């Protein structure tokens, strides 16, 4: 499948059985609903998918299952990031073998590499794993950031095709877009900032809220692409209370809770150190779900 890196890509949750094991049947149902709702791609085993607590075997089982269920109807971009370059190469190579169309790699966390270290990390993965990769800039989780100059350098490395941007700095993001290769795609990694990201040249979103409201997020991006800013803006504001509610606690605690409330997954089982949602925050979430957009 030729990968078109634009539109709405859902950062899938990973459903678990009550005993904490993978619930692949629930994952398959979620994938089917997402595809039926018109999403442009699926991203299993990222931050929203609790990749940090998956074993390597579970990680690849989940990726392979999403690939099999999607059956080439939409592309699958597997989360394969690590703070170890060697481990990132291994995970990305395994994702290629599992049939993923591309990989999304969080910038190395905890190590706090220099910009040269970040550059060499991504370059090594792209050249050795031989699967198209997206950078993922989220300083709030990694304690370092990918500077625009580094993004521009990486945009010319064979196999580096895009960036998931969650830095919240539109000046820096604008510089990254301006300095990067013409075919390099920047996607929003923050649901609340998707519309302004599109306005400065972003091509879509890797979305958490689309787990819950896929059609609304799909329509927001498509309305903007069609030049219908009024409808895109309406959906942005309709989605905003839900977006705020699903980030009132650490992702993916609220989004998994919401999916369980809606009956899209059987339960909201999480793996420690993530814990059940606090009641006052759940109340806020339930109020937002009651006003769920029907685009």
Structure confidence by residue, pLDDT tens digits, 219-231? 999 999 999 999 9
* Residue-range domains of the chain with CATH: 7-228 (3.20.20.70)
Q: Which of 199, 81, 60, 74 is nearest to 135 (CA)?
A: 81
Assess whether pLDDT exceeds 60 at residue 294: no
Average pLDDT over residues 265-294: 93
Mean pLDDT of the chain: 96
Q: Is 136 a catalytic residue?
A: yes
Least confident of 59-68, 148-157, 227-236, 285-294: 285-294
Choice among 164, 237, 256, 280 that is catalytic:
164
Assign 293 a pLDDT band (cuts: 50, 70, 90): low
The reported pLDDT for the residue numbered 2 is 61
Percent of the chain with pLDDT over 70: 98
Average pLDDT over residues 49-71: 97
The reported pLDDT for the residue numbered 190 is 96
Assign 3 a pLDDT band (cuts: 50, 70, 90): confident
Average pLDDT over residues 139-147: 87
CA distances from 144 to 117, 147, 292 (A): 11, 9, 35
Assess whether pLDDT exceeds 60 at residue 295: no
The reported pLDDT for the residue numbered 40 is 98
Choice among 72, 112, 122, 136 that is catalytic:
136
215-219: long-range contacts, CB 8 A cutoff, minimum separation 24? 215/37, 215/38, 215/295, 216/293, 216/294, 216/295, 217/8, 217/191, 218/7, 218/8, 218/37, 218/38, 218/39, 218/40, 219/295
Q: Is 164 a catalytic residue?
A: yes
Average pLDDT over residues 155-184: 96
Report strand pairing: 7-11 vs 160-165.
Answer: unpaired
Cβ pair 197, 165 in contact under 8 A: yes
Assign 291 a pLDDT band (cuts: 50, 70, 90): confident
The reported pLDDT for the residue numbered 143 is 82
Cβ pair 80, 91 in contact under 8 A: yes
Assign 47 a pLDDT band (cuts: 50, 70, 90): very high
The reported pLDDT for the residue numbered 144 is 87
């Amino acid at each position: 499948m030729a990968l078109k890196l634009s539109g709405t890509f859902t950062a899938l949750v990973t459903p678990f059985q009550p005993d904490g094991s993978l619930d692949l049947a629930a994952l398959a149902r979620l994938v089917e609903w997402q595809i039926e709702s018109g999403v442009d791609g699926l991203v299993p085993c990222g931050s929203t998918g609790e990749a940090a607590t998956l074993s390597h075997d579970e990680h690849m089982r989940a990726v392979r299952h999403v690939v099999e269920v999607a059956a080439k109807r939409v592309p699958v971009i597997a989360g394969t990031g690590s703070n170890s370059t060697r481990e990132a190469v291994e995970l990305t190579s395994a994702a290629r073998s599992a049939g993923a169309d591309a990989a999304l790699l969080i910038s190395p966390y905890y190590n706090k590499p220099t910009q040269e270290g970040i550059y060499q990390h991504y370059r090594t993965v792209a050249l050795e794993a031989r699967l198209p990769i997206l950078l993922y800039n989220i300083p709030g989780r990694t304690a370092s950031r990918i500077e625009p100059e580094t993004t521009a350098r990486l945009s010319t490395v064979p196999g580096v095709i895009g960036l998931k941007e969650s830095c919240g700095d539109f000046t820096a993001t604008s510089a990254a877009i301006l300095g990067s290769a013409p075919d390099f795609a920047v996607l929003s990694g923050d649901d609340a900032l998707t519309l302004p990201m599109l306005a400065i040249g972003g091509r879509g979103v890797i979305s958490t809220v689309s787990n819950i409201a896929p059609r609304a997020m799909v329509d927001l991006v498509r309305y903007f692409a069609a030049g219908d800013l009024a409808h895109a803006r309406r959906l942005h504001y309709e989605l905003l209370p839900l977006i705020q509610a699903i980030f009132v606690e650490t992702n993916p605690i609220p989004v998994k809770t919401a999916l369980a409330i809606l009956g899209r997954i059987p339960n909201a089982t999480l793996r420690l150190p993530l814990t059940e949602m606090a009641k006052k925050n759940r109340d806020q979430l339930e109020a937002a779900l009651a006003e769920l957009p029907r685009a």
